Amino acid sequence: QHRQRIPIRLRRGAPIRIMVGRALAYLLMYVPVVFIDLFVLPRVFGFPHIGSIGTLIGFLLPFLLATIFFSITMAGFFRERDTIIVTCIFFSVILLFLSGTAWPQSNMPAVWRWFSYLFPSTPAIQGFIRINTMGAHLSEVSFEYLLLWFQTGVYFFTACTSLRLMSWLRRKQII
pLDDT digits (tens, 9 = 90+) for 10-68: 666 677 888 888 899 999 999 899 889 888 888 899 887 888 889 999 999 999 999 99
pTM over 0.75: yes
CA-closest candidate to residue 101, choices 119, 65, 128, 134: 128
Q: Are 128 and 99 in contact (CB under 8 A)?
A: no
The CB density around residue 53, as the number of other CB atoms within 10 Å, is 10
First-to-last alpha carbon distance for the chain, in angstroms, is: 11
Hey, what amino acid is at 22? R
